[in-house]
Structure 1
Amino acid sequence: MFKKVNRESIRRRKHLSIRNKISGTAERPRLSVYRSNNNIFAQLIDDVNGVTLAASSTIEKEIKANVKHGGNVEAAKLVGKALAEKAVAKNITVVVFDRSGYKYTGRIAALAEAAREAGLKF
Protein backbone atom coordinates (compact mmCIF):
# COMPACT_ATOMS: atom_id res chain seq x y z
CA MET A 1 0.00 0.00 0.00
CA PHE A 2 1.14 3.49 -0.79
CA LYS A 3 0.83 6.23 1.78
CA LYS A 4 -0.69 9.44 0.56
CA VAL A 5 1.70 12.37 0.91
CA ASN A 6 0.35 15.12 3.15
CA ARG A 7 1.75 18.21 1.44
CA GLU A 8 0.42 20.61 4.08
CA SER A 9 2.37 18.89 6.86
CA ILE A 10 5.51 18.97 4.70
CA ARG A 11 4.99 22.70 4.09
CA ARG A 12 4.50 23.35 7.81
CA ARG A 13 7.72 21.49 8.62
CA LYS A 14 9.59 23.59 6.03
CA HIS A 15 8.00 26.76 7.44
CA LEU A 16 9.21 25.95 10.95
CA SER A 17 12.71 25.33 9.63
CA ILE A 18 12.66 28.66 7.81
CA ARG A 19 11.33 30.47 10.90
CA ASN A 20 14.20 29.14 12.99
CA LYS A 21 16.60 30.89 10.62
CA ILE A 22 14.92 34.24 9.93
CA SER A 23 13.33 36.84 12.16
CA GLY A 24 11.95 40.31 11.57
CA THR A 25 12.92 43.47 13.43
CA ALA A 26 11.48 46.98 13.44
CA GLU A 27 14.18 48.13 11.01
CA ARG A 28 13.93 45.05 8.79
CA PRO A 29 10.55 43.32 9.21
CA ARG A 30 9.64 39.88 7.92
CA LEU A 31 7.38 39.77 4.84
CA SER A 32 5.28 36.69 5.56
CA VAL A 33 3.07 35.18 2.85
CA TYR A 34 0.12 32.80 3.25
CA ARG A 35 -1.56 31.30 0.22
CA SER A 36 -4.92 29.54 0.16
CA ASN A 37 -6.82 28.25 -2.85
CA ASN A 38 -9.03 31.34 -3.02
CA ASN A 39 -6.92 34.14 -1.51
CA ILE A 40 -3.39 35.31 -0.75
CA PHE A 41 -2.30 37.19 2.36
CA ALA A 42 0.92 39.10 3.08
CA GLN A 43 2.06 40.98 6.15
CA LEU A 44 5.11 42.73 7.52
CA ILE A 45 5.93 41.49 11.00
CA ASP A 46 8.26 42.78 13.71
CA ASP A 47 9.05 39.52 15.54
CA VAL A 48 10.98 41.23 18.34
CA ASN A 49 7.91 43.14 19.54
CA GLY A 50 5.34 40.71 18.11
CA VAL A 51 3.61 43.38 16.03
CA THR A 52 2.21 43.41 12.50
CA LEU A 53 3.39 46.63 10.84
CA ALA A 54 1.42 46.39 7.59
CA ALA A 55 -0.83 43.83 5.93
CA SER A 56 -2.56 43.28 2.63
CA SER A 57 -4.73 40.54 1.15
CA THR A 58 -7.22 39.77 -1.56
CA ILE A 59 -10.10 40.11 0.89
CA GLU A 60 -9.56 43.88 1.24
CA LYS A 61 -12.27 45.93 -0.46
CA GLU A 62 -9.87 47.87 -2.70
CA ILE A 63 -8.21 44.73 -4.07
CA LYS A 64 -11.34 42.59 -4.14
CA ALA A 65 -13.04 45.16 -6.37
CA ASN A 66 -10.23 44.88 -8.94
CA VAL A 67 -9.95 41.09 -9.16
CA LYS A 68 -12.36 38.46 -10.33
CA HIS A 69 -10.73 35.63 -8.34
CA GLY A 70 -8.32 36.10 -5.42
CA GLY A 71 -6.38 32.91 -6.05
CA ASN A 72 -4.47 33.86 -9.20
CA VAL A 73 -1.23 35.59 -10.21
CA GLU A 74 -2.88 38.92 -11.04
CA ALA A 75 -4.37 39.12 -7.54
CA ALA A 76 -0.99 38.29 -6.00
CA LYS A 77 0.61 41.14 -7.94
CA LEU A 78 -1.98 43.59 -6.60
CA VAL A 79 -1.42 42.38 -3.03
CA GLY A 80 2.37 42.74 -3.37
CA LYS A 81 2.05 46.24 -4.77
CA ALA A 82 -0.46 47.33 -2.10
CA LEU A 83 1.71 45.97 0.72
CA ALA A 84 4.81 47.70 -0.63
CA GLU A 85 2.95 51.01 -0.88
CA LYS A 86 1.80 50.70 2.75
CA ALA A 87 5.36 49.84 3.84
CA VAL A 88 6.94 52.75 1.97
CA ALA A 89 4.38 55.08 3.54
CA LYS A 90 5.68 53.91 6.95
CA ASN A 91 9.33 54.39 5.84
CA ILE A 92 10.01 50.65 5.56
CA THR A 93 12.07 49.80 2.49
CA VAL A 94 14.17 46.77 3.49
CA VAL A 95 12.49 43.49 4.49
CA VAL A 96 13.35 39.82 4.82
CA PHE A 97 11.16 37.53 2.70
CA ASP A 98 9.43 34.56 4.35
CA ARG A 99 7.82 32.34 1.72
CA SER A 100 6.34 30.11 4.47
CA GLY A 101 7.48 26.84 2.91
CA TYR A 102 5.87 27.49 -0.46
CA LYS A 103 7.91 27.11 -3.63
CA TYR A 104 9.07 30.38 -5.14
CA THR A 105 6.95 30.22 -8.28
CA GLY A 106 3.55 31.37 -9.44
CA ARG A 107 1.65 33.51 -6.95
CA ILE A 108 4.49 33.69 -4.41
CA ALA A 109 6.98 34.90 -7.03
CA ALA A 110 4.44 37.34 -8.50
CA LEU A 111 3.77 38.88 -5.08
CA ALA A 112 7.51 39.20 -4.40
CA GLU A 113 8.28 40.77 -7.77
CA ALA A 114 5.41 43.26 -7.45
CA ALA A 115 6.62 44.25 -3.98
CA ARG A 116 10.13 44.77 -5.34
CA GLU A 117 8.87 46.91 -8.21
CA ALA A 118 6.85 49.05 -5.80
CA GLY A 119 9.88 49.87 -3.66
CA LEU A 120 10.72 47.05 -1.22
CA LYS A 121 14.25 45.61 -1.15
CA PHE A 122 14.90 41.95 -0.33
Structure 2
Amino acid sequence: MSSQIEHQDEQQRIAELEQRVATLERLHDDQILEWARRKQQGHEEAKRRDAREKLETGEVRTIVIQSPPGEEGPDAFAKIEGVATFVDPAGQDLPSGATVQAKLTDVRESSANAIALEVLDDQP
Protein backbone atom coordinates (compact mmCIF):
# COMPACT_ATOMS: atom_id res chain seq x y z
CA MET A 1 0.00 0.00 0.00
CA SER A 2 2.81 2.39 0.90
CA SER A 3 4.62 1.81 -2.40
CA GLN A 4 1.38 2.45 -4.30
CA ILE A 5 1.00 5.84 -2.57
CA GLU A 6 4.67 6.62 -3.27
CA HIS A 7 4.14 5.72 -6.92
CA GLN A 8 1.07 8.00 -7.13
CA ASP A 9 3.00 10.84 -5.45
CA GLU A 10 5.85 10.31 -7.88
CA GLN A 11 3.49 10.32 -10.87
CA GLN A 12 1.83 13.50 -9.59
CA ARG A 13 5.24 15.16 -9.12
CA ILE A 14 6.27 14.15 -12.67
CA ALA A 15 3.02 15.60 -14.06
CA GLU A 16 3.63 18.87 -12.18
CA LEU A 17 7.20 19.08 -13.48
CA GLU A 18 6.06 18.38 -17.04
CA GLN A 19 3.50 21.17 -16.73
CA ARG A 20 6.19 23.57 -15.45
CA VAL A 21 8.49 22.64 -18.34
CA ALA A 22 5.67 23.27 -20.84
CA THR A 23 5.00 26.68 -19.25
CA LEU A 24 8.69 27.62 -19.39
CA GLU A 25 8.91 26.53 -23.03
CA ARG A 26 5.92 28.75 -23.91
CA LEU A 27 7.49 31.71 -22.09
CA HIS A 28 10.81 31.13 -23.85
CA ASP A 29 9.09 30.93 -27.25
CA ASP A 30 7.20 34.17 -26.49
CA GLN A 31 10.46 35.92 -25.58
CA ILE A 32 12.15 34.77 -28.78
CA LEU A 33 9.19 35.96 -30.85
CA GLU A 34 9.23 39.35 -29.10
CA TRP A 35 13.00 39.69 -29.68
CA ALA A 36 12.57 38.84 -33.38
CA ARG A 37 9.69 41.31 -33.69
CA ARG A 38 11.77 44.12 -32.15
CA LYS A 39 14.73 43.34 -34.43
CA GLN A 40 12.46 43.42 -37.49
CA GLN A 41 10.87 46.71 -36.40
CA GLY A 42 14.31 48.28 -35.92
CA HIS A 43 15.39 47.11 -39.35
CA GLU A 44 12.22 48.48 -40.96
CA GLU A 45 12.62 51.84 -39.19
CA ALA A 46 16.22 52.08 -40.38
CA LYS A 47 15.11 51.42 -43.95
CA ARG A 48 12.60 54.30 -43.76
CA ARG A 49 15.30 56.80 -42.77
CA ASP A 50 17.82 57.96 -45.34
CA ALA A 51 21.18 58.36 -43.60
CA ARG A 52 22.36 60.63 -46.42
CA GLU A 53 19.97 63.32 -45.15
CA LYS A 54 21.83 63.40 -41.81
CA LEU A 55 25.43 62.51 -42.63
CA GLU A 56 27.97 63.39 -45.30
CA THR A 57 31.01 61.51 -46.51
CA GLY A 58 34.14 63.27 -45.25
CA GLU A 59 32.55 64.60 -42.05
CA VAL A 60 34.50 64.10 -38.82
CA ARG A 61 32.29 63.11 -35.89
CA THR A 62 32.80 62.26 -32.24
CA ILE A 63 31.16 58.91 -31.53
CA VAL A 64 30.85 56.32 -28.77
CA ILE A 65 31.68 52.73 -29.68
CA GLN A 66 28.83 50.32 -28.87
CA SER A 67 30.46 47.06 -29.99
CA PRO A 68 34.22 46.63 -30.40
CA PRO A 69 35.82 45.02 -33.45
CA GLY A 70 35.43 41.27 -33.52
CA GLU A 71 32.02 41.11 -31.81
CA GLU A 72 29.99 41.73 -34.97
CA GLY A 73 32.73 41.69 -37.60
CA PRO A 74 36.12 43.27 -38.24
CA ASP A 75 34.82 46.81 -37.61
CA ALA A 76 33.58 48.44 -34.44
CA PHE A 77 29.92 49.48 -34.32
CA ALA A 78 28.43 52.82 -33.31
CA LYS A 79 25.36 54.88 -34.10
CA ILE A 80 25.55 58.43 -35.35
CA GLU A 81 22.18 60.20 -35.11
CA GLY A 82 20.53 56.77 -35.13
CA VAL A 83 22.44 55.58 -38.21
CA ALA A 84 24.26 52.25 -37.94
CA THR A 85 27.94 53.05 -38.49
CA PHE A 86 30.75 50.55 -38.99
CA VAL A 87 34.06 51.96 -37.79
CA ASP A 88 37.41 50.71 -39.13
CA PRO A 89 39.67 50.75 -36.06
CA ALA A 90 42.74 51.65 -38.17
CA GLY A 91 44.95 49.63 -35.82
CA GLN A 92 43.61 51.28 -32.67
CA ASP A 93 42.00 49.58 -29.68
CA LEU A 94 38.29 50.49 -29.70
CA PRO A 95 36.59 48.98 -26.63
CA SER A 96 32.86 49.36 -25.96
CA GLY A 97 32.18 52.79 -24.51
CA ALA A 98 35.27 54.42 -26.04
CA THR A 99 34.81 57.95 -27.34
CA VAL A 100 36.41 58.24 -30.76
CA GLN A 101 36.86 60.87 -33.40
CA ALA A 102 36.01 59.24 -36.73
CA LYS A 103 35.81 60.34 -40.35
CA LEU A 104 32.86 59.14 -42.43
CA THR A 105 34.19 57.34 -45.49
CA ASP A 106 30.89 56.19 -47.01
CA VAL A 107 27.26 57.06 -46.31
CA ARG A 108 24.56 54.86 -47.76
CA GLU A 109 20.79 54.93 -47.42
CA SER A 110 20.60 53.07 -44.11
CA SER A 111 24.18 52.83 -42.80
CA ALA A 112 27.58 54.45 -42.87
CA ASN A 113 31.25 53.52 -42.74
CA ALA A 114 33.92 55.48 -40.90
CA ILE A 115 37.57 55.24 -39.96
CA ALA A 116 38.79 55.95 -36.44
CA LEU A 117 41.12 58.94 -36.37
CA GLU A 118 41.76 59.25 -32.65
CA VAL A 119 40.62 57.64 -29.42
CA LEU A 120 39.59 60.53 -27.18
CA ASP A 121 38.61 58.44 -24.15
CA ASP A 122 38.80 54.66 -23.93
CA GLN A 123 36.93 54.47 -20.62
CA PRO A 124 33.23 53.63 -20.80
Which category of TM-score, normalised to the shorter sequence, fits these structures?
0.3 to 0.5
Q: TM-score, normalised by structure 1?
A: 0.32
**Higher Cα Rg, which structure:** 2
Q: TM-score, normalised by structure 2?
A: 0.32
Structure in which a larger fraction of residues adopt strand: 2
